[in-house]
Structure 1
Amino acid sequence: MKDSVIILSGGMDSVTMLYEFEERIALAVSFDYGSNHNAREIPFAHQHCMDLGIRHIVIPLEFMSKYFKSSLLEGPEAIPEGHYEDENMKSTVVPFRNGIMLSIAVGIAESAGLKHVMMANHGGDHTIYPDCREEFVNSFSEAARTGTYVGVTLLSPYTNLTKADIARKGKELGVDYSKTWSCYKGGVVHCGRCGTCVERREALAEAGIEDPTEYQD
């Protein structure tokens, strides 16, 4: 039954979720909020939706790059390098990004008569992204349910999985990870050194997947 909207970035996690739950996804929504890597991610999101026959829309959120503070919005030179657990990675937080995107997706879901919004947050996000943690997910889902006539709820089945767990799912599903984007610097190829590149490399290696990604290094 097609009952869900998915927030689809074009990265490994949301693309994996798209394939795992394709039978229930009626619409995929990507948001262009002016980050360094939106232009690299979104075409992959669109390509996978085309392959699966799922409707895909892109919603511009230019105001975020104008008024929000984050290294993701300040150009590739502002992106720190290292592991997600390093203190400097907090600069990549876009304040309440998921809350804003989820609010829009909930409105779209209710307008379309759909019952759920899906997001692909995972356990590795918890360290620095407060709007990826389980308490946020549960609270937002309850707010969406009580704030809509149709009782829209948030589905986030990867909340407590690692990125390697997700990659294993993708391996079973036959997801082509060469057609996904992770790097926060948003260059021609992945930098290989920013937090999300490091996490991508580790997850693919742990899942036993030969890394198809082209890195600068």
Structure 2
Amino acid sequence: MTTLRTVVAASGGLDSTVLAYDLARNGHEVTLLSFDYGQRHRRELHAARRLAHRLGARHSVVDLNPLKTVLRGSALTDPDIAVPSGEYTTETLRTTVVPARNAIFLSVAIGAAVSWNAQTVAFAGHSGDHEVYPDCRPAFVRAVQDLARTATKGFGDVGVLAPYVTWSKSQIVSHGHRLGVPFEATWSCYQGLEWHCGTCSTCRERRGAFISAQVPDPTEYMETAGA
């Protein structure tokens, strides 16, 4: 039986880590591909490297750092825009959108898959992501699947997997718990502090997902770290 080689777009966060473990458990030979796109911190990249080591998987980081000069207007790439905290709204969440980020990352991953003789690219977009993030929706998945088929026809015919696109984040947590994913080794926070801040939108969603899934949250947040 031929092993399926899969390139996983891996941020070092909870969702993509569950996906990597999921695919590895199901017989895929996974390569984790991360992106340095001039984001606010490198904690997630360090997490992705450590997680790849735990999985015994190859890990590569693509240097897209120059993109920060054109991907302005996001709190994740623009130091002049503060990361929103507390109760979030559609307007505050818009400040965390990096324009077409998944489209850029997946285009690179598709090219890498051809070069590495991989058959598929996988990413962990899910329905728990807010409507303000258009590149996490089923319509985007269908479009990028068509892009991959068209762009690689006769050169690997690479497919795109997004198995969680209709899942909630709590479902991903539950699934990862069953897989034995080391959640404590993942990084979600938009801040690059020693611990998760606990107040930014992604920290709040991470917390809420564990609560909803009724899975113990091993994350060290600022107010509980060292307690």
TM-score by length of 1: 0.94
Structure 2 residue 20 is the aligned partner of structure 1 residue 18: yes
Is residue 192 of structure 2 the alignment partner of residue 193 of structure 1? Answer: no
Q: For 2:137, which of 133, 136, 145 is the aligned residue?
A: 133
- Asked if the contact 1:84–1:199 (Cα under 8 Å) also holds between the matched residues in 2, the reply is no
Structure 1 residues 142, 24: CA separation in 2 closer, same or farther (over 3 Å shift)?
Answer: same
Unaligned runs of 5+ in 1: none
Distance 1:84 1:120, change over 3 A: farther
Whether contact under 8 Å (1:126, 1:133) holds in the other structure is no
Residues 142-178 of structure 1 show CA distances to partners (whole Å, capped at 9, x for unaligned) of: 1110111222111000101011000001110111111
What's the counterpart of residue 5 of structure 1?
7
Cα distance, 1:123–1:30 mapped onto 2, change above 3 Å: same
Task: Report the equivalent of 1:71.
Answer: 75
In the alignment, is the contact (CA less than 8 A) between 1:36 and 1:76 conserved in 2? no
CA change 1:84–1:151 in 2 (3 A) is farther
Partner of 1:59: 62
Deviation for aligned residue 1:76: 8.9
Between 1:44-53 and 1:91-100, the stretch displaced more is: 44-53
Mapping of residues 123-162 of structure 1, within 5 Å: 123-148=127-152, 149=154, 150-162=156-168
Segment of structure 1 superposing worse, 4-13 or 73-82: 73-82
Identity of aligned residues (%): 42
Q: Residue 113 in 1 paired to residue 117 in 2? A: yes
For residues 161 and 64 of structure 1, what CA distance do their matches in structure 2 show?
30
> For 1:47-101, what per-residue CA distance to the aligned partner results, in whole angstroms no more than 9, with x for missing partners?
1211121111111111221211211112396111135554211110000111111
Letter of the 1:116 partner, please give it. T
- Gaps spanning 5+ residues in structure 2: where? none
Tell me if 1:103 matches 2:107. yes
Q: Deviating runs (4+, > 4 A) in structure 1?
A: none
Q: Distance in 2 between matches of 1:20 and 1:145?
A: 24
Change (3 A) 1:166 1:214: same
Q: Is the 8 A contact 1:34 1:65 kept in 2?
A: yes
Greater CA deviation, 169-178 or 67-76?
67-76
Counterparts in 2 of 1:158 and 1:84: CA distance versus 1, 3 Å: farther
Name the SS of the counterpart of 1:29 in structure 2.
Answer: strand
Aligned residues of 1:124 and 1:162 also touching (Cα < 8 A): yes
Q: CA deviation at 1:122?
A: 0.7
Aligned residue pairs total 216
| Higher mean C-alpha displacement, 76-85 vs 1-10 | 76-85
- Write the distance in 2 (CA, Å) between the matches of 1:167 and 1:204: 6
Quick check: which one's helix share is greater?
Answer: 1
- Shifted more, 145-154 versus 69-78: the winner is 69-78
Q: Secondary structure at the match of 2:95?
A: helix
Q: Does 2:75 correspond to 1:35?
A: no
Letter aligned with residue 157 of structure 1: P
Aligned to 2:47: 44
Query: Secondary structure at the residue paired with 2:118?
Result: coil
